[in-house]
Amino acid sequence: MSVEVGDDDEIAVAWENAEPDALERAYRRWGGLVHGLARRAVGPDDADDVTQAVFVSAWRGRTTYDRGSAPLGAWLVGITRRRIADQLRARQRQAPVAQEQDDVPDDAAWTAADSTDLLTVYEELERIGDPQRRIILLAYVEDLTQREIAERLDLPLGTVKTHTNRTLARLRTLLGGA
Amino acid sequence: MNETDRYAERPAGDPTPGRAEELLQRAGDLSPAPEGPLWERIQAEVDGVGRDELEARRRAGGARTRRRVGRWPLLAAAAAGALVAWVGTQVVGAGAPRDEIVVADAALSDLPEAGATVDGTAEVVSVDGERRLRVQLDELPDTGEGYLEVWLLRPDVSGLVTVGVIADTTAEFSLPATVDLQEYPVVDISREQLDGDPSHGGTSLVRGELHTADAGPGEPPPAATDDLTSTSSTDREAYR
């Protein structure tokens, strides 16, 4: 969470211009997110492969990226969703008998529906961007109070509450109102 | 703690914590970068190096470049090779005497910040067309819990190539033809921890600059190189 507001867009510009360090900067910024999402979906053993596939295919397909239509983080999460699907399909081909997630005791609590919804949540947070993204993560990942978040981000408390409510409502709609 | 304060009021008609909040809490912090050599693998694949090849190189102690090396260094290396002198010494362990060409050599000096007092020499020889980096240290620096790794750096430390692990006072490494010694002339020996991180650990013990054999008396080793010895963790990121 050390990434400052504004960094993301800079990385996206570097990415669009195919600057030599753009891939590494994107990996430093979103590698943890991609890997974390992959881990919940395919388990720790295959999460490395999925992460590698995401960044390699994203870089090779970078000319298809359009900063105007999506922030880079949301685009990468979208690619993560597809590479996870590839991985699960490959797994099914290899072992038609369902032995789903036997090898992933750490993440046994993550069903396919959970990991898919988590992808949706993070894709949307990356799409909305800061400060909403940070507000939601500080509230639910770092467990800060609304007041603490307001102080941390130097925003009025009312603004933090409004952003929280609106973003949660948006996420709820995306997840089918659950 | 006050729940109303902790979380904003729920939208009307929804008294239960939402699924999004619950998933975010369960997933925890996803921001830390993955551990292990994953970045290395991604970069290698993007650069067209297969994973098996990368592993094989690592096991063999061969070199891998961190930045793409273009075609022109091949030509530059060939040009340098055309101007060097023949010395014709015997390679230890070789079945028959073979001609070798000294392509470049360097005096290695300890870096004061490293707390080591070790000097040595390095030379690049061409044996049957293959370039080898030969390192000789006066004594083996203290490695603590870790080990010593040999690198070739750009003079401004903007890029580096790992050459291999040195476990004795002498070692010889095979250099791929694609590594341009004009571009990466600085021999650097660093102390590395057994932490699974393949990047430069930031502690350089010994360093010296290679001078190609036709270059005449070279300049002294680059004292001005921004020492890896003093790199902070932030700087270190730049080498990853």
Interface confidence: ipTM more than 0.90: no
The first and second tokens of residue A40, run together, are 């919940």
Give the per-residue pLDDT at A73. 96
Give the per-residue pLDDT at B184. 85
- Interchain CB contact of B128 with A (< 8 Å): no
Q: How confident is the model at residue B13 (pLDDT cuts 50, 70, 90)?
A: very low
In a domain, B27, yes or no: no
- Interchain CB contact of A81 with B (< 8 Å): no
Mark yes or no for CB contact A32/B8 under 8 Å: no
A74-118 pLDDT, tens digit per residue, is 999 999 999 999 999 888 877 655 445 445 445 557 899 999 999
Mark yes or no for CB contact B21/A32 under 8 Å: no
- pLDDT lower than 70: segments of chain A: 1-6, 95-108, 177-178
Q: How far is A78 from chain B (nearest CA, A)?
A: 16
CATH number, domain at B71? 2.60.40
- Interchain CB contact of A156 with B (< 8 Å): no
In a domain, B159, yes or no: yes
Domain that residue B179 falls in: 38-89+101-237
Give the per-residue pLDDT at B213. 65
Give the per-residue pLDDT at B146. 80
Give the per-residue pLDDT at B31. 87
Residue B138 has pLDDT above 60, yes or no: yes
Q: Which chain B residues in 219-238 lie under 8 Å from chain A, judged by CB atoms?
A: 237
In a domain, B146, yes or no: yes
In a domain, B18, yes or no: no
Give the per-residue pLDDT at B163. 87
Query: Which residues on adjacent β-strands are paired with residue B65?
Result: B161
Query: Could you give the number of structural domains in chain B?
Result: 1
CATH 1.10.1740.10 fits A7-109, yes or no: yes
Spatial separation of the C-alpha atoms in residues A142 and A123, rounded to whole Å:
19
Mutate to test the interface with A, among B3, B4, B10, B31 (most CBs of A within 10 A): B31
